[in-house]
Structure 1
């Protein structure tokens, strides 16, 4: 089997394991509405919506860090999208974009929002891998 054939088989196998559904999006900065005293979330732009595989990178408990006045635990995840995924208008995924799990066989993951920390590219990969962290 040649390299292209092996990659096609590997990509098909990787997609078969993508049982979660996610939405990859960017969000503009929040604004503060003085009259109401509330924070208004920034506008969201969806870059991708579809199948994925979301997996914890390690079984560690995560890194504790301070955010504002509260402690949060950062847990790393890797999100696999189909290798053939294209984004609108040549958009690139950059740190700060978000991935929301919209459906999963593991119902505890539904609603999980992950923050993109890095993206990998390779012509010989079986899936497009996006490194993320859970900031809850």
Structure 2
């Protein structure tokens, strides 16, 4: 079969279809990755722990999930290198002492533990 039998735009259509298929696949992969991060509803802080071998504050919250499949659902971690570590630590201590509810955003894993990226303090 000779390529001259087909109009030139047929090959362009085939290439465009393949590119669209690849783009759809990439969009699906990116959206699945973005959906992995999670929001944690406002709840009580049950336990705060600095534990040797971990590079951050371990937090036991009323609602424990593992949206990124880190492997642990018993704690969240606030990494020491978080840009607002000191402020968030102070907020968590105050919330736990006053019995206020705290919400989190979780994204990624640190040392196999879901990592806290954002913290909110709920008014009761």
Determine if the TM-score, normalized by the shorter chain, exceeds 0.5.
no
TM-score by length of 2: 0.27
Which structure has greater strand proportion?
1
Which structure has greater helix proportion?
2
